[in-house]
Amino acid sequence: MTIQVGDTLPTVGLTTMTAEGPKPVSLSELSSGKKIVLFAVPGAFTPTCSAQHLPGFLDKNKDLKEKGVDIVACVSVNDPFVMKAWGEDRNVGEDVLMLSDGNGEFTAAIGLEMDGSGFGLGTRSQRYAMIIDDGVVSVLNVESGPGLDVSSAETILEQL
């Protein structure tokens, strides 16, 4: 079942890369008492993800924070080493928390998997963006096909 507005985030863990190595991250703990914008991409270094989706959230980061967002995070079904390399390549710094869902467990738990095997990608995440208020989904925008429309930083900014 796909996660819906009003649902609490599952307790499935994600991973981020730190100077000490991979570190587990619980979105439910991270979002406690906070407003988080979480956006998901089918894959790091893929064209739309690298040229539009992630850069949009970097460009609008200050505006998002001014509207009360505590954390902007990107999640992908990639390993934490790839997410770290992609973040460095895109100069995300501290603006976007890069989260790995290496085994796709979080993506499966929220019901937003997609079959990318036709492109050699295997099971990946659909492209989406959500606003999480204190662990509860308040906005969920899932793209209905290829491209970037409802999950863009601009759209999320309008919904805050």
| Residues 10/106, Cβ–Cβ less than 8 Å | yes
Q: Supply 146's token pair.
A: 């290829």
**Sign of the Cα pseudo-torsion (139, 60, 98, 21, in order):** negative
> Of the listed 17, 25, 44, 49, which one is catalytic?
49
Single-letter code of the amino acid located at 120:
G
Could you confirm whether 49 is annotated as catalytic?
A: yes
Beta strands at 71-76 and 97-100: parallel, antiparallel or unpaired: parallel
Tokens at 144, concatenated: 């209905």
Question: Which are the catalytic amino acids?
Answer: 49
